[in-house]
Structure 1
Amino acid sequence: MKLAEALAERADATRRVEQLRSRIVSNARYQEGETPAEDAARLLVEAGEALDALQILIRRINRTNAAVVMGEHGTITDALARRDVLRLRHAVVTAAADAAAGSDQRGYSRQLRSELMMLPALPVAELRAQADVLARELRELDTRIQRTNWEADLLD
């Protein structure tokens, strides 16, 4: 199995566990004289089995991410850490540019010439350019991670 397939399987298993959790909660109590729509105890056992399988899958994915090398980016785990930080860095730079540009002022504008002007404390154009560079780096890294996910075999 390829790593990408395991990641898709993990997402499906996570959704399945969440659905079981919701069904358990819905059927954990019922009104006297009625019967619940589903057996909550059976659903709880099923959720436990699904969680055990999910744990094994996550361990295999993590083991693979730590072992597979992506060239200059190090392991997949290293690349994932870089991608997470690039996303955060992009969000910070974009928020700074928006704030400096006055995008978050929610309709504030001077009504009279005697009112004080709001001036940007940061270079908006430079921040926008920096955000564009970060977005490109993020896209390129994400593409390399996805390619590696389809090329790498899942480890035991």
Structure 2
Amino acid sequence: MTMKVAAALRLKNDYNLQLIALKHRIMSNLVVEEGQEPDESPKKLIALYHQVSQNYQALVTKINLHNSSTTVEYPSYHDNYKSGHLIGDLFSNDLPPDLVSKEKYIVQALVERESLKAEIQTFKSILDRSKVSRSSTRDILKVAVLDVQQLQKKIDTMAKFLRIMDAKIQEHNWLQDLKEI
């Protein structure tokens, strides 16, 4: 049976939610008043938990093997910012033709996406901390050490690369079949 990667990712999430629910059901049926029976058999629930866990493990293995052997082409922030490439309008998905795009394994793109998200959050924190205000003229004047406008432009640029990268990964997930192992 073949399925699209996006469907497999959804199934992975469903398995994960099912495992959490089964754990709660097992835990709530472990102890009963003397002479009473549990609402559900913990033994049967544990057997079901093991089965779902095995399905989850097999699916995640398939997804990971697929992601480490399949590529996607996208413009990486880290491949472009050093060479001074500007990416045009920050709030559109249009890209200049001279932007460097490389084909990378999906697993590399996923790691880069998470790293870029973390960088954006870090720079947003730096930006928030760099904003200065004075409640009265008697307060000591504090000034930002960094150029706040330049920092905001960097965040906007990183966010655009993130949007484009994420769109390429999502497109891949909806178009590609998950490889059989």
Normalising by structure 2, report the TM-score. 0.78
Cα contact 1:110–1:116 (8 A) shared by 2: no
Structure 1: distance between partners of 2:9 and 2:162:
20
The structure 1 residue matched to 2:63, chosen from 36, 61, 64, is: 61
SS at match of 1:38: coil
Give the number of the structure whose residues are more often strand, by fraction: 2
Structure-2 residue corresponding to 1:25: 27
Structure-1 residue corresponding to 2:123: 93
Structure 2: distance between partners of 1:89 and 1:77:
18
Q: Which structure 1 residue ranges, 5 or more long, are not aligned?
A: 103-107
Structure 2: distance between partners of 1:43 and 1:97:
50
Structure 2: distance between partners of 1:144 and 1:69:
11
Q: CA deviation at 1:118?
A: 2.6
Q: Which structure 2 residue ranges, 5 or more long, are not aligned?
A: 74-101
Q: CA RMSD in A?
A: 1.5
Structure 1: distance between partners of 2:13 and 2:175:
19
Structure-2 residue corresponding to 1:140: 164
SS at match of 1:74: strand
Distance 1:36 1:116, change over 3 A: same
Structure 1: distance between partners of 2:32 and 2:126:
52
Give the number of the structure whose residues are more often helix, by fraction: 1
Specify the code of the residue in structure 1 equivalent to 2:53: L
Deviates further, 127-136 or 26-35: 26-35
Q: CA deviation at 1:122?
A: 1.9
Q: CA deviation at 1:92?
A: 0.7
Deviating above 3 A after TM superposition, structure 1's stretches of 4 or more consecutive aligned residues are: 108-112
Structure-1 residue corresponding to 2:145: 121
The structure 2 residue matched to 1:35, chosen from 34, 37, 43, is: 37
Distance 1:83 1:73, change over 3 A: farther
Cα contact 1:68–1:152 (8 A) shared by 2: no
Structure 1: distance between partners of 2:146 and 2:35:
68
The structure 2 residue matched to 1:83, chosen from 113, 116, 119, is: 113
Structure 1: distance between partners of 2:9 and 2:50:
20
Matched positions, count: 150
SS at match of 1:116: coil
Q: CA deviation at 1:10?
A: 0.5
Structure-2 residue corresponding to 1:51: 53
